[in-house]
Amino acid sequence: MSGAHALAGAALAITSAEVALGGCSASGNAVAYVEDATDRATHGDAVSDAHTVMNDVAATQDAQAFDAFVSDRSADAWSSSADLDAPVDASTIVMAPHAPPTLAATGLFTDLDRNGTLRLATGVQPFQPRYALWSDGAEKARWVYLPPGKKIDSSDPDHWSFPVGTKFWKEFAVGGKRIETRFIERFGPGPDDYLYAAYWWKATDAASPTDAVLADADVGVPSANGTNHDIPSQAFCVRCHGPLQEHVLGFGALELNHAMPGVTIATLTQGRWLSQPLPSDLDFPGVDTKTRDAIGYLHANCGNCHNFTPGVYMIPEPRMDLRVRIGQPLEETGAYKTALNVEITKFYHPAAPAITYRIAGGDPPHSCVSFRMGDLTKDNRMPPIATKVVDSQGLAVVNAWVATLPAPPNR
Binding site for ligand HEC (CB under 6 A): 36, 129, 132-133, 142, 168-170, 182-184, 196-198, 232, 236-237, 239-241, 248-251, 300-302, 304-306, 316, 318, 320, 344-347, 358, 368-369, 372-373, 382-386
Q: Which is nearer to ligand HEC, 285 or 316 (CB)?
A: 316
Q: Which is nearer to ligand HEC, 109 or 236 (CB)?
A: 236
Q: Which is nearer to ligand HEC, 241 or 292 (CB)?
A: 241
Kindly report whether the peptide bond that precedes residue 318 is cis, defined as omega within 30 degrees of 0: yes
Burial class (CB in 10 A: 0-12, 13-18, 19+), 204: exposed
Q: Which is nearer to ligand HEC, 12 or 373 (CB)?
A: 373
Asked if residue 295 lies in contact with residue 405, where contact means CB atoms within 8 angstroms, the answer is no
Task: State in angstroms the smallest separation of the CB of 345 from ligand HEC.
Answer: 4
Q: Which is nearer to ligand HEC, 197 or 263 (CB)?
A: 197
Q: What are phi and psi of 290, to 5 degrees?
A: -55, -45
Q: Which of left, alpha, beta for 107 (phi over 0: left; psi -120 to 50: alpha)?
A: left
Task: State in angstroms the smallest separation of the CB of 104 from ligand HEC.
Answer: 16
Kindly report whether the peptide bond that precedes residue 383 is cis, defined as omega within 30 degrees of 0: yes
Q: Which is nearer to ligand HEC, 212 or 368 (CB)?
A: 368
Asked if residue 238 lies in contact with residue 32, where contact means CB atoms within 8 angstroms, the answer is yes
Task: State in angstroms the smallest separation of the CB of 347 from ligand HEC.
Answer: 4
Task: State in angstroms the smallest separation of the CB of 4 from ligand HEC.
Answer: 27
Asked if residue 216 lies in contact with residue 235, where contact means CB atoms within 8 angstroms, the answer is no
Asked if residue 260 lies in contact with residue 126, where contact means CB atoms within 8 angstroms, the answer is no
Task: State in angstroms the smallest separation of the CB of 37 from ligand HEC.
Answer: 7
Q: Of 41, 35, 62, nearest to 240 (Cα)? A: 35
The residues near 392 (Cβ < 8 Å, ≥ 6 apart) are none
Q: Which of left, alpha, beta for 327 (phi over 0: left; psi -120 to 50: alpha)?
A: left
DSSP run (H or E) holding 231: none
Task: State in angstroms the smallest separation of the CB of 2 from ligand HEC.
Answer: 27
Q: Which is nearer to ligand HEC, 1 or 168 (CB)?
A: 168
Task: State in angstroms the smallest separation of the CB of 85 from ligand HEC.
Answer: 26
Q: Which is nearer to ligand HEC, 188 or 316 (CB)?
A: 316
Distance CA 212, CA 127 (A): 21
Task: State in angstroms the smallest separation of the CB of 298 from ligand HEC.
Answer: 6
